[in-house]
Amino acid sequence: MLIGLKGWKKLTNYKTLSDLNNKLIKIKKGINKSPNEFSFLRSDNNKEIFSYLKKYKKKFKNIDNFLLIGTGGSSLGAKAIISLYNQKKINFIENLDPSTLKNFFKNNKKNNLALLIISKSGETLEVLCLFDILMNSFKNNFDLKNNTLIISDKKKSTLRNIANKYSIDVLDHDETIGGRFSCFSLTGLLPMYLAGINSIKLKELVDKSFKKDLLNKNNVNNIFITAVSQIIKKKKITGHIFLVYSDSLMNVGNWYKQLWNESLGKNGLGLYLISALGAVDQHSQLQMWLDGPKNLIFTIVIPKKRTYDFKVKNNKNILPAYLNNKRMGDLLNIMAESTAAELRKAGAYVRIIYIEDDKEESVIKLMTSFILEVSLIGKLIGINPFDQPAVEKVKLRIKKNLKQNARNKFITT
């Protein structure tokens, strides 16, 4: 993975960057002393996780399709990795949209189906409602007791009560890991494994990637972490555009959006992370990026190689000559680099990340670096990157409104 940060050092003076870098190195050294806080780094329970992967792969060996019910951190990480394989064995329902549920069962009538129900708290409204609807309206489509698996915190909850009532298997969500940081724990690794991905090998790669990033004192990503910490503190720049030039990375953008925004948006601080797709968004957002308010930074992700590629042959000499023998991947990358150059010319700070290819190993290295950088930025700006207190207020408001049947009222208190 190659990271380009041309011009970023100009964001602040050398002494400030140096002081922040020293603080960052100190935080990295102290991480091993705070294993519960940076619990996404855990590897001590790998053997236990791997045994569960093998156990349920064997139990569900005759299953054609899985339906994963979960939202946010319970689904986005696994979905980002699984989508790279372009397989349909794991299906995700993450929202309370009746059309989505109806269409799924319309298209999967003949399949032997199993359910994965994931909620860290065991009280996620969307998950509980969807599970109830499945048990009552679609009960003939699956074997509830034998072909359902729940992952949730080991504590009393509505989801645990359902599991006990119907004798459904339950695995413990790692209580030390927040949902958005859990994609490389059992929560993400099990769906990946059931999808046919070797998530045992994947977890070993994850552990190596985290270790390498922590040991590297002078890597270029430290410049990004310290510079962004300064940007956030100054509050002049308000947005971070995450622009990927590969359709297969769109779900990584959705995952990163939650990771960044929920972790760093606190105490009046943070940058709004907006995920975008190149080259599509060059035709919808680029005008604003180039000629609108100068309040954005950019991260652009470009795969050096593509798993599949096609060449423009122009046999009839109809197309412009400059397109002759250009591969689709090369065209996208030229468009990406041209966009980055014009954004820099317009005064924007642009980070370009070249990943080796669009395969899972490159994407995993990208995701582990993002998890670590978001955590470290949070620590540098003095907030807790591992909680989401404001979100809890909305959850309480929703429950209050539901109890009062307040759908058509605007509650001001």
Q: Where do the domains of the chain lie?
A: 2-29+216-389, 39-203
Within the chain, how many helices (H) and strands (E) appear?
14, 10
Domains 2-29+216-389 and 39-203 share a fold: yes
- Going by the DSSP 8-state scheme, the letter that residue 318 receives in this structure is -
Residues 172 and 140 sit within 8 Å (Cβ to Cβ): no
Residue 28 identity: K
* Res 112: pLDDT: 87
Residue whose pair of structure tokens reads 């207020």 in the numeric block: 393
Find out if CATH 3.40.50.10490 is the number for domain 39-203: yes
Give the separation between CA 74 and CA 122, rounded to whole angstroms.
11
Question: Mind listing the pLDDT tens digit for each residue in 96-112?
Answer: 999 999 998 888 876 78
Residues 35 and 42 sit within 8 Å (Cβ to Cβ): yes
How does residue 137 score in pLDDT terms, banded at 50, 70 and 90? confident
How does residue 15 score in pLDDT terms, banded at 50, 70 and 90? confident
Give the separation between CA 8 and CA 395, rounded to whole angstroms.
39
Residue 236 identity: K
Residues 64 and 141 sit within 8 Å (Cβ to Cβ): no
Give me the phi and psi of 299, to 5 degrees please: -120, 120
- Going by the DSSP 8-state scheme, the letter that residue 407 receives in this structure is T
Whole-prediction pTM value? 0.94
Does residue 250 surpass a pLDDT of 60?
yes
- CATH number of the domain located at residue range(s) 2-29+216-389 in this protein: 3.40.50.10490
Question: Mind listing the pLDDT tens digit for each residue in 261-306?
Answer: 999 999 999 999 999 999 999 999 999 999 999 999 999 999 999 9
